[in-house]
Amino acid sequence: METKIWREMLMPYHAAVDELCMKFEHVIDEYKSMNEYSPILSVSGRVKKISSILEKAHKKNVKLEDIEDIIQDIAGIRIICQFVEDIQAVVDIIRNRGDMQIIEERDYIKNSKPSGYRSYHIIINYMLQMVTGPKQIKAEIQIRTLAMNFWGTIEHSLQYKYRSQMPEHITDRLHAAAEAIVMLDKEMSLVRGEIMSAQNYMHHTDRVINEILNNIQNLYGVANKREIDKIQDEFYRLYELSDLNMLERFCDELDLIAEGYRAQSIQEEY
């Protein structure tokens, strides 16, 4: 197939990857705006390289005209979670969406691959709206923890280097590392509640401080310098004390002052 034709064929996959990444980013934003823990830590996507598509087509004995039907991971999305428990929460989020239809699930966490690979894979149908009309695109969503991703990324690059001839001592090390990753995920799950509450506390403190700083900045244009200096000194004093309750109270008071000047901040970033 000519490069131009490949480019045309892959164009909708690029669009689908962009849209899907943006939609999962919005999920993260929604949780943050509700001051809630997001089971999704981060999301990334890629369109499979032409050489990898050809390699897979050759391996699976797929004809060129059947590539889009048979190769399900031309569009690939990777969702990273902090804890194993978050993975099922992400699967439920996807299951409940009206814009992605799950057609296949592969649980390589319960049943890890012989290599030691662990990840949860979902194949979806996604309806892309194009100028020429709707086009159904298949995409693979890989959902895994940070630890699983660490192992998978390293092992993938070694696989790339050695192809099917990975030296035995490296395979052994990778199996040992895979076991260590299972233990690491288990250990992290045991302190999940503690970590989540620490992170919520941190995010909430950041929001309060941002709101205070935005209000102070807005007041610069309208209030007199002495008043702003006083507000700023009080903020530094409370900030040094690191007392969230006091900062929250100060934030509310500052909101009222700013409201009086019609200079209230609207929180946009988290």
Question: Which residues carry out catalysis?
Answer: 140
What is the maximal distance between C-alpha atoms in the chain? Answer: 77
Return the number of the residue (145 or 215) whose C-beta is nearest ligand 0O2.
Answer: 145
Binding mask of the shown chain, residues 32 to 51, with x at each position contacting ligand 0O2 by CB under 6 A: ----------------x---
The sign of the CA dihedral 236, 238, 242, 244 is negative
161 binds ligand 0O2 (CB under 6 A): no
Q: Distance (Å, rounded) from C-alpha 23 to C-alpha 79?
A: 12
97, 26 in Cβ contact below 8 A? no
117 binds ligand 0O2 (CB under 6 A): yes
Enter the DSSP assignment of 221.
Answer: T
Q: Distance (Å, rounded) from C-alpha 253 to C-alpha 100?
A: 45
How many Cα atoms within 13 Å fall on the side-chain side of residue 71?
A: 27
Return the number of the residue (62 or 228) whose C-beta is nearest ligand 0O2.
Answer: 62
Return the number of the residue (18 or 30) whose C-beta is nearest ligand 0O2.
Answer: 18
> Residue 141: phi, psi to the nearest 5?
-110, 120
For the chain, list the strands marked E by DSSP.
42-47, 75-81, 100-107, 120-130, 133-145
Q: Is 32 exposed, middle or buried (0-12, 13-18, 19+ CB in 10 A)?
A: middle
Return the number of the residue (124 or 247) whose C-beta is nearest ligand 0O2.
Answer: 124
Q: Are strands 42-47 and 133-145 parallel, antiparallel or unpaired?
A: unpaired
121 binds ligand 0O2 (CB under 6 A): yes
Q: Which of 95, 156, 161, 175 binds ligand 0O2 (CB under 6 A)?
A: 156
Q: How far is the CB of 28 from ligand 0O2 (least distance, A)?
A: 22
Q: Distance (Å, rounded) from C-alpha 264 to C-alpha 222?
A: 11
The residue with tokens 């000047």 is: 261
Q: How far is the CB of 49 from ligand 0O2 (least distance, A)?
A: 8
What is the SS3 assignment for 34? coil
Region from 148-156, 161-169, 215-223, 250-258 binding ligand 0O2, contact rule CB under 6 A: 148-156
Q: How far is the CB of 101 from ligand 0O2 (least distance, A)?
A: 18
Q: How far is the CB of 218 from ligand 0O2 (least distance, A)?
A: 48
Return the number of the residue (100 or 231) whose C-beta is nearest ligand 0O2.
Answer: 100
Find the binding residues for ligand 0O2 in span 61-80 (CB under 6 A). Answer: 73
155 binds ligand 0O2 (CB under 6 A): yes
115 binds ligand 0O2 (CB under 6 A): yes
Size of the site for ligand 0O2 (CB under 6 A): 12
Q: Which of 56, 192, 204, 207 binds ligand 0O2 (CB under 6 A)?
A: 56
Binding site for ligand 0O2 (CB under 6 A): 48, 52, 56, 73, 106, 113, 115, 117, 121, 152, 155-156
